[in-house]
């Protein structure tokens, strides 16, 4: 891992302070971002190493993050990396669960659901004639 001094200098070069109505001043990340289902994730690259900018910010200005802990942003600015706008969590926060998908059935096959046998799949006579 790169030294803390190198990470701090690289981090400072990619942060711009922006005023936020609810949280005072946010540190807007102007460097590389990674698009994820939860939104944009700021990434800091130093040499061949990649780090999340929020983890670097929290480590530099507050405390090192123990393994198994994750950070959650508390302000509404999407790419904010201000260490006071980040909080540690025991597990990652999932914004929305994935909806359950119905089982995929071929269009020529009917699914019949019974209480005793669960789902029984049978083909109709017409579908066999069209195959």
Instruction: Specify the pTM.
Output: 0.63
Give the pLDDT confidence of 87-123 residue by residue, as tens digits. Answer: 988 865 555 666 676 655 555 555 555 455 554 444 4
Q: Are residues 17 and 81 located together in one domain of the fold?
A: yes
Cα distances (angstroms) measured from residue 33 to each of 6, 40, 73, 81, 107: 20, 6, 15, 12, 42
- The CATH code of the domain that includes 41 is 3.90.75
Whether residue 44 contacts residue 50, with contact meaning beta carbons closer than 8 Å, is answered with: yes
Q: Are residues 69 and 124 located together in one domain of the fold?
A: no
Any domain includes 97 = no
Residue-range definition of the domain harbouring residue 47: 4-89
Q: Are residues 79 and 19 located together in one domain of the fold?
A: yes
Q: Are residues 78 and 108 located together in one domain of the fold?
A: no
Q: Are residues 107 and 84 located together in one domain of the fold?
A: no
Digitized pLDDT (tens) for each residue of the chain, 131 residues in all = 678 888 889 999 999 998 887 778 899 999 999 998 888 889 999 888 898 899 899 988 888 888 778 888 888 888 999 999 999 888 655 556 666 766 555 555 555 554 555 544 444 444 444 44
């Amino acid at each position: 891992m790169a030294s803390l001094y190198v990470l701090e200098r690289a981090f400072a070069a990619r942060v711009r302070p922006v005023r936020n109505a609810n949280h005072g001043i946010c540190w807007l990340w102007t460097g590389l971002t990674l698009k994820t289902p939860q939104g944009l994730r700021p990434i800091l690259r130093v040499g061949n190493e990649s780090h999340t900018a929020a983890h670097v910010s929290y480590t530099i200005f507050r405390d090192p993050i123990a393994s198994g802990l994750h950070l959650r942003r508390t302000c509404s600015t999407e790419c904010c990396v201000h260490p006071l706008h980040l909080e540690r969590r025991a597990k990652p926060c999932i914004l929305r669960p994935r909806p359950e998908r119905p089982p995929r059935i071929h269009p020529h096959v009917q699914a019949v659901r019974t209480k005793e046998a669960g789902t029984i799949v049978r083909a109709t006579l017409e579908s066999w004639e069209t195959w």
